[in-house]
Structure 1
């Protein structure tokens, strides 16, 4: 296996599919920055970042020709996937200048369920034996992505580029929604309007409040738990008042489960408990309204079909000749 990873092979020239879609997203958001330049916080730096990402992408493409093999192909694709940690908070730099829409989603939640499931859930089950499994499931999101990606790389390499394209393109479609549909979720919106308003079912519009305020509600549940503190620490560092609707945690993890099912029933069975806990955790820790999770789940199937079609129609090529 190790020799196979580093065995030099004849490879096609040019960009991989995931690199192409990243450059397309890079270009689209760069154009948007130019349109919103006067209103944004640091548009110049954002454009510089995008130029550096584009330059790095082409540099990796040329360096790859020096040692084309499975491992170097993996590095190219892994770097593009790692950039999602940049593109996610980047959505906030756009939607912070638009009027916040949480009042619409919280009101819809109130109308549909007669209250706020995100509040009921954690108040009804504050116990360690509930809190810790849900926080473990939520924290398992990125390990889940890594496990599926590595599994496909090792056991289904012929589908590895498709997997990376489907995942990254799905992320980008969600990110475009987040840019134009600024919903922060209960953990940001509820502290902004106060507990009394939440209890009374009053959800005022707060305009561009999050453009200047980013107070995050401490996570509910057993606050001395190991996984509780892992989630709390990661959210304090990397979370922004963005990306609530629809839930990409639910959407992307559902796509991962589809890919796991298609690749290996054993892989699917192994991931299933973590997936269920992750979906429940999005509401339990108040990162999302229940409708965010529902739409995230439903949208995943549509995205998988559309993005797979895009790959086959426009991007599919053999990675090696």
Structure 2
């Protein structure tokens, strides 16, 4: 048993920090699910209700996740052709794609399931507090003031950039895979930590957003082709999301912009206007309060500085562990190459 545990811990040294985060979150999520499931059943008055979110998540993502991985593989295959990269490296890239995409697949499952459980932790939404903060800062509710500027074409544009936010995360991963191995590892870890801190805050400060709380005060509807399509595809079985504070559309957009600027600077000229538009769309489309956006900016401002340092620290730690293990190996005269063996922090991202 002791030997088995030792082997398990040794295997952790070869994982990226974002994979460690995924493992930890999975353990926490499973424990929370089974310890609070009965309470959710009692609150809803439906025996076995806590399994419904799991079934819903499975039905939604059982086709989405494989398709996303396949599209990522196709994109990189085309890149290999255009860039004339050796095709012998492509099989390794398949494993890389799966490794970098799986943490985000878990992220989706945790997010969707969490939305059903948030009222269990705090049944009282904090929208009134957020409304008061916005009014204190501006003297008006910004989304109501913006009604003067609503136009169908602008609504379509704002709806498009708002909806493009999540696909842009995967585009950013692929772009960094092409450009920088280190950048991929840092970006994914930073994004996941930003997401999960945000999820924790959703539990502490649950809010449904101005689109619901100020619905009777809007006199101009958000009409447009794209937003109509989005509204028609919303699953009515999904509980109203309490995911306003902080605005992760804002926080993760800033994370994407920062890492693109660090590792593929010319592309930042494309990301910059897009990120500004995404942030503006959160208010225009009545999805967030301004204080949500400010909180998202502050959160990402911290994570883009701290998280890359955590990645570097983890890489140094696991290198020391592997080197110590090599020194303890019972070999009379190890080959010089073995004496200097260490973990390449980005060996799984060798593009």
Q: 1:295 to 1:34 in 2, by over 3 A?
A: same
> Structure 1: which 5+ residue stretches go unaligned?
1-10, 51-66, 200-218
Match of residue 92, structure 1, among 109, 112, 115 = 115
Distance in 2 separating the partners of 1:264 and 1:232 = 35
CA contact (8 A) 2:194 2:299 kept: no
Question: Match for residue 345 of structure 2?
Answer: 318
Question: Match for residue 120 of structure 1?
Answer: 145
1:16 corresponds to 2:39? no
Query: How far does residue 104 in structure 1 lie from its aligned partner after superposition?
Result: 1.1
Query: How far does residue 35 in structure 1 lie from its aligned partner after superposition?
Result: 4.8
Q: 1:298 to 1:111 in 2, by over 3 A?
A: same
Question: Match for residue 94 of structure 2?
Answer: 71
CA contact (8 A) 1:77 1:164 kept: yes
Question: Match for residue 307 of structure 2?
Answer: 307
CA contact (8 A) 1:170 1:303 kept: yes
Distance in 1 separating the partners of 2:279 and 2:242 = 18
Per-residue CA deviations over 1:60-99 (Å, capped at 9, x if unaligned) read: xxxxxxx982331221221221332222222212212211
Q: Which has the larger radius of gyration?
A: 2
Query: Which range moved further: 262-271 or 126-135?
Result: 126-135
Question: Match for residue 105 of structure 1?
Answer: 130
Question: Match for residue 64 of structure 2?
Answer: none
Instruction: State the number of aligned residues.
Output: 270
Query: How far does residue 234 in structure 1 lie from its aligned partner after superposition?
Result: 5.1
Q: 1:269 to 1:239 in 2, by over 3 A?
A: farther
Distance in 2 separating the partners of 1:234 and 1:275 = 24
Question: Match for residue 270 of structure 2?
Answer: 270
CA contact (8 A) 2:134 2:289 kept: yes
Q: Secondary structure at the match of 1:149?
A: helix
1:257 corresponds to 2:257? yes
TM-score (norm 1): 0.74
Q: Secondary structure at the match of 2:20?
A: helix
CA contact (8 A) 1:174 1:246 kept: yes
Question: Match for residue 215 of structure 1?
Answer: none
Per-residue CA deviations over 1:81-122 (Å, capped at 9, x if unaligned) read: 13322222222122122111111111222222222111221x
1:172 corresponds to 2:196? yes
The structure with more helix, counted as a fraction of residues? 2
CA contact (8 A) 2:209 2:286 kept: yes
Q: 1:234 to 1:295 in 2, by over 3 A?
A: farther
Query: How far does residue 47 in structure 1 lie from its aligned partner after superposition?
Result: 8.6
1:228 corresponds to 2:251? no
Question: Match for residue 156 of structure 2?
Answer: 132
Distance in 2 separating the partners of 1:102 and 1:164 = 31
Question: Match for residue 83 of structure 1?
Answer: 106
Distance in 1 separating the partners of 2:252 and 2:131 = 23
Query: How far does residue 264 in structure 1 lie from its aligned partner after superposition?
Result: 1.6
TM-score (norm 2): 0.68
Q: 1:13 to 1:275 in 2, by over 3 A?
A: same
